Structure 1
Amino acid sequence: MRHGESRPAGGGAKSILLVDDDELNLQVVARRLFQDGYYVATASSGPAALETMNRQRFDLVLLDLEMPGMDGLETLKRIRALSSRRETPVIMLSAHNQNSAIRSCLVHGAADYLVKPLVMPLVRARIERHLAAPAARTDEPGTLETERDVRILIVDDDDLSCRLLASQLKSRGYAPSTVTSGKAALERIGRDDLDLVLLDIGMPDVTGNDILRSIRADARTKKLPVIMVTASNDVPTMLSCVDEGADGYVTKPVDIAYLHACILSSLEAKRRGPRLDLD
């Protein structure tokens, strides 16, 4: 095998190209993906990634954004310029969550964006989504759906948190509305034409997970983007939300720049094609 390859026993494994200039990150993440049954090739720079992709076709690319020389964004642009690789899903990896950087990646064809340090069960869940049915791509970089007038329903039993988050989103051009109970949320979701829901998990009457399951069970709303907002940051809670169909997960206190990035990513995924369920 060439340097930087890990191939599971048996054929038919999905192939992933992992690109990161940090050798330790490469080894750790590649080993975890290999243990999950993926064929993994690695590259430590943008030029090396492009050379590898010219030799071999991959089902998905995990691409670090911050690399010396040719950074991840420039590498992404060049991948999208390769006619034979234009539809390969690319998930960007970054230790930073500046919304301008995330927007640039999405505009130039990234399928998703994950913030380091990586939580591997969530990385696997995102990979599985994109490998299940990659979103259709056009020949040109996409144009992000504008945030302006995007209708967002904020669901949280803490009225002060609702009003603060609504004010922050309104200042960014969104059109937020709020409810402070699960029952009211279900009524609004069933009645109103919404673009996205921000959903608190811990509510006394109907939990956020209950509402999420209801949204995904209804044919009218099953593709509605839902981002969970919660004070809990434990991995089992994150995974339960992902397994039940959440499009994102943001912990309190909310970093508005990161939330904005998650909203942009969810809206772009909706624009590109149908929501990709794990089951």
Structure 2
Amino acid sequence: MKVLMIDDNELDLLISRKLISKQVSQLEFTEFTSAAQALTYLEEQQENEFDIILLDLNMPEMNGWDFLEEYQKLSVHKSNVYILTSSLDTRDKLRSKEYEVVKGYFDKPLKNNYIAEIIDSHQIH
């Protein structure tokens, strides 16, 4: 399984990678601390190679919402996006439902039950 993680906090990336790796074998991670850099990377790919994308919302320069708007415009196959955020704004969860690619909305930090939900929805082990 290939996972793209986008979060401006490197510690959050590390924690997420470690937790997911404990539950799922055969993983490949690609990480970006900038949504703009991740988008550029995806634009340059001939085909989207990721099974899932874990996306933070609150990032400088390009936030998660901006990323989602641009991501939807790409002609590549769309990955399932899971928002992982520290936002306490309940409107964010409602807003996430407006994006067809968003399959889940989770509060930080990543927890084992969130990973289990992602695994179950993708039948990954």
Same fold at TM > 0.5: yes
Kindly state the Cα deviation for residue 41 of structure 1 after the two structures are TM-superposed.
0.9
1:41 paired residue among 10, 23, 30: 30
Counterparts of 1:27 and 1:68, CA distance in 2: 19
Residue 81 of structure 1 deviates from its aligned partner by: 1.4
Shift of 1:78: 1.4
Larger Rg: 1
TM alignment of 1:125-164, pairs within 5 A: 125-132=116-123
CA displacement at 1:53 relative to structure 2? 2.3
Aligned to 1:52: 41
**2:86 aligned with 1:95:** yes
Residues 16-60 of structure 1 deviation map (CA, whole Å, 9 limit, x = unaligned)? 101100011112212332343221111111112112323351000
Asked if residue 19 in structure 1 is aligned to residue 2 in structure 2, the reply is: no
Where structure 1 has 5 or more consecutive residues not aligned to the other structure, the ranges are 1-13, 133-277
- What whole-Å deviation, never above 9, does each CA across 1:144-183 have from its counterpart, x for those lacking one? xxxxxxxxxxxxxxxxxxxxxxxxxxxxxxxxxxxxxxxx
* TM-score when normalising by structure 2: 0.83
Identity of aligned residues (%): 25
**Are 2:55 and 1:66 equivalent residues in the alignment?**
no
| Structure 2: stretches of 5+ with no match in the other structure | none
Q: Please give the secondary structure, in 2, of the residue aligned with 1:83.
A: coil
The Cα of 1:69 is off from its aligned counterpart by 1.0
Match for 1:105: what amino acid?
S
Report the Cα distance in structure 1 between the residues aligned to 2:10 and 2:62, rounded to whole angstroms: 17
Q: Is the 8 A contact 1:79 1:85 kept in 2?
A: no
Question: Secondary structure of 2:29's match?
Answer: strand
User: Which of the pair has the greater relative contact order for Cα pairs under 8 Å at 6+ separation?
Assistant: 2
How many angstroms does 1:108 deviate by? 2.2
Amino acid corresponding to residue 71 of structure 1 in structure 2: N
3-state SS in 1 of match to 2:37: helix
From 7, 10, 16, the equivalent of 1:29 is 16
Superposition RMSD on alpha carbons, in Å? 1.9
Aligned residue identity for 2:36: P
Q: How many corresponding residue pairs?
A: 118
